[in-house]
Every structure is written in C-alpha cells, then in structure tokens.
Structure 1
Amino acid sequence: MKKTAWIFFVIGILYASYLLLLLSLPYLEMRRGIDFLKTKQFIYHIKHWRYSFYIHVFTSILIITSGLFQFSKTILSSYPKIHRISGFIYLTVTLLISGPAALVMSFYANGGYPAQTSFVILSILWIGSTFLAYHYVRKKDYERHGKWMVRSYALTLSAVSLRLYSYLFDVFHLRMDPTDLYILLSWLSWTLNLVAAEIFIRRGLVKRLLANR
C-alpha cells in the first residue's frame, strides 16, 4: 500500500474507531433502553445474549486498533515487538472473546433469518480466518499468515462498513423498507470487504509488506 493511501486508511480507521467509541460510551450505564437496545427489549432478559452484546461492544475498538498495527511496514520492520504484541491482542480477543460473542449475537440479529444467516456466516468466517492467521504464524509461514490477517481484518471492519453504508443510504435518500434495508446492509457489510481483501492479496500487497522482513 502506497504511503499516502496508507495514511488516509489509518486516519479513516482511527476516526471510525473514535465514532465507535462515542457510540459505545452510553452502554456503560448498562441500561436496557439505550440506543440500539431499544430494538432488543424482547430478548434483553436472555443473559447469554446480553453478556455477548456488552462484550462485543466494549472489545470492538480494541480489536480494530490492534489489528491496524499489523499492516504497517514501518512497525513490522522497525518495531517488531509492537507488531507481535498488537497481533497477540488481536488474535486472543477475537478468537476467545469477541468472536464467540458475535456468533451468539448473530442468532438474534434483527431482520429475521436472512440477516441472522448473514451474521452467522460472518462470525464463522471471522473466527475461522483469524484462527488460520494464528495457525500460519505459529508455523512461521508469514505470507499465508499475512493473507489470512487481511481477510480477518476485512471482516473485523464490517462493523465500520455497516454503519458507513447505512449513512450513505441516508445521505443519498435511498428509501427502502427498514427490515429489507437492514438485511441488505447485513450482507454488504462483509461481502464487499472480502472482495476488497482478495483484490489486495492478489495484487501482491502482502508480499510487498513482507519484502524486507
């Protein structure tokens, strides 16, 4: 990734993380009638869903920011310890905490079976790609590790793209039935990200990142 493009990418992700932080802060009150939870009144009493929701909300920013450090050539070559520590945080939190929580939540997603199916697939792919990234780094196969990290992080960013696409629909006044819109967004949020990840990989950008390793 060219330096200018990388800088804009980092700024964009950091700004998105800041917005997610602002959206997450109200949930510290642990009250059932806050923002998104207003649509979940009929399942808020289900403990495993409620715990999964708060876990996922409060770990999302940590995962997004720690994952971002994995794609800096400067950090990888000059500060490998930062790369390893942030990678450990990303893999551990995704595989053991936030990924399982996301999978639990996906079975209760708004939009019925179409949206639930989308989020179940997303969660399984997210956990699976992250596990393969872990598997290959353990085998010191850094190129495959890098490719699976790109896929994993693309799925991580579905939390950002979901909100971005929703915002764009509002900006361009694209009117749809709210349920149909949410179903559409649930699929667009991660499928387009995976397409972008595959383009990134096939253009050899992972190899370039590892070139001086």
Structure 2
Amino acid sequence: MFPIAISAFRWIGWLAYLTGALLIVTNTVADFGPGGEGIFIGQRGAIGEQPVWLLCLYVHVASGVVCLIASLPQLSRMVLRGFPKLHRWSGRIYAATMLILVCPSGMYLALHAKGGVLGKAGFLLLGAATFHTTLRGVTSMIGGSRDLAAHRGWMTRSFAFAASAITFRILHLVFFQLGLAEETNYVTSLWLSVLGNAAVAELVLRRRSRSSAISSPIPSVS
C-alpha cells in the first residue's frame, strides 16, 4: 500500500504542477499578450514606465513561461526512459533560459518588488538560489566526471524553486480568501513558497537517498 500511496502522491504533485503552469501561462497571455489588460504594470506606478524595468519584466515573463513548459518533461520518468533526447533538450532549454534570462531579469525586478525589504529580500534569495542550484545541476554533467546523482539532486532543487511561482499564487489566493491584509499576504506567501518548496525538495531527496540505500546490495565481507 505504501508504494501505491507514494505513486499516487507523485501523480497528484505532477498534475498540480501542470495545472499551475498552465494557469500561469493563461494569465500571463491575458495580461501581457497582445490586447492584454496590463493590470500588473498599471499597479506598479512610476516604475512601470521605466524602459529598463519594462524590458526586464517582459524578458522575465516570456522566459519564465518557457522554463515552466520546458520543465514538464523533466518531471516524467516515462519521458526520461522512453524519450531521453526530449529529456536532454528540454533540460538544456530550461537551464539556459533560467541562467541567462529568468534569474538575471528576476533579480533586477526584485530590487523594485512589493513588500518592502522582506519582499525584495525574498525575491533576491529566490533568484540567487535558483541560479545556484541550476548552475550546479549543469556543471555536475559537464566533462568526464559526470555525477548523475548530484545532477538529479541539484535539478530537483532548481525545479522546486521554479515551482515557487505556482505555490506563491496558490498561497496568495488562499490568504486573500482568509482576509489577510495584502502587504502581509504578499510577504507571507512569498517566504512560505520559497522556504516550503525548498523543504519539500530536501525531503524528496532524503527519501530518494534512503530508498537507494535500501535497494543497494550489501557488500560481502571476505
């Protein structure tokens, strides 16, 4: 029963991520696409009129959508086993887009984020953590000393931080329904999503490590 529960939980998590990613893509197109409502920019006041900020915003939004889509094949063992080339290429797209576009633009936007010092610090931490874990995931597979276990570990952490965009929106909506003040809601949702996703990633990696240790054969003593 326990393996079945784990499998069901994995499928639920995958579907939740897929649903959240699709919702973000839909809302992004509705707000930033041609003829979009432009609500987010309108709420930013004077900063929303600065060319550098606008450029970083559009780069961050567009590249973030690419990363969310590219990460989906990475979460499927079926794709990994049956379509390894798709896994590799989607991973390369994810990593390159994250390192070159998403994180740099996001860290600039973080300097002007809502929520005061805590809001800015939260997004800066998220950007730095995502960049670091993604870079470590890439470098662990470069050269002759490829470390598949390290690669999986670092990319799991990277995906967890990327998924905080989904967790943040879910928590923000929940706290809004509970009547939490907007500024408190914003900062609380941000930090809970970043730290909570990081904790979940570590729990997943720890469980995976224990499972590998149990399944590994015990060396004979001569």
Structure 2-normalised TM-score? 0.85
Spell out, residue by residue over 1:4-46, the C-alpha distance to the aligned partner (whole angstroms, 9 max, x if none): 3333222222211221122111312387x72222221210122
Aligned to 1:19: 23
Give the superposition deviation at 1:59: 2.1
Which residue identity does 2:114 align to in structure 1? N
Is 15-24 or 118-127 further displaced after alignment? 15-24
What is the identity, as a one-letter code, of the residue corresponding to 2:194? Answer: W
Match of 2:147 in 1: 141
Instruction: Work out which of the residue numbers 61, 64, 67 in structure 1 matches 2:65.
Output: 61
Query: CA separation of 1:206/1:68 partners in 2, compared to 1, >3 Å: closer, same or farther?
Result: farther
Show structure 1 runs of 4+ deviating over 4 A.
205-208
Aligned residue runs from structure 1 range 8-157, under 5 A: 8-25=12-29, 26-29=31-34, 34-138=38-142, 139-157=145-163
Aligned length in residues: 206
Gaps of 5+ in 1: none
C-alpha deviation, 1:179, in angstroms: 1.3
Change (3 A) 1:205 1:30: farther
Contact 2:42–2:48 (8 Å) recurs in 1: no
The residue identity in structure 2 corresponding to 1:136 is S
TM-score between both structures, scaled by the size of structure 1:
0.88
Letter in 2 for 1:5: F
The whole-number CA distance in structure 2 between the counterparts of 1:206 and 1:127 is 27
Q: Does 1:185 align with 2:189?
A: yes
- 1:203 matched to 2:207? The reply is yes
**% identical aligned pairs:** 23
Kindly indicate whether structure 1 or structure 2 has the higher relative contact order, using CA contacts under 8 Å at least 6 residues apart.
Answer: 1
Q: Deviations over 1:100-130 (max 9, x none)?
A: 1111111110111111011111100111110
Separation in structure 2 between the aligned mates of residue 30 and residue 107 of structure 1, nearest angstrom: 28
CA radius of gyration, larger in: 2
How much does 1:158 deviate?
1.0
Q: Which residue identity is paired with 1:27?
A: F
Instruction: Note if 1:164 corresponds to 2:170.
Output: yes
Counterpart of 2:150 in structure 1: which amino acid? R
Q: 1:16 to 1:206 in 2, by over 3 A?
A: farther
Separation of aligned partners in 2, 1:207 and 1:86: 27
**Per-residue Cα deviation, 1:61-120 (whole angstroms, up to 9, x for no partner):** 221221122232222222110110110010010001111111111111011111101111
Distance 2:34 2:69 in 1: 24
Letter in 2 for 1:77: R
Provide Cα deviations, 1:124-172, integer angstroms capped at 9, x if missing partner.
011111000001021410100100001000000111011000111134x
Amino acid at match of 2:121: T
Instruction: Identify the residue that residue 219 of structure 2 maps to in structure 1.
Output: none
Q: Determine if contact 2:176/2:182 at 8 Å carries over to the other structure.
A: no
State the one-letter code of the partner of 2:162: T
Query: Which range is displaced more, 15-24 or 82-91?
Result: 15-24
- In 1, the alpha carbon distance for the partners of 2:189 and 2:80 equals 34
Q: Is the 8 A contact 1:143 1:206 kept in 2?
A: no
Q: d(CA) in 2 for partners of 1:93 and 1:206?
A: 32
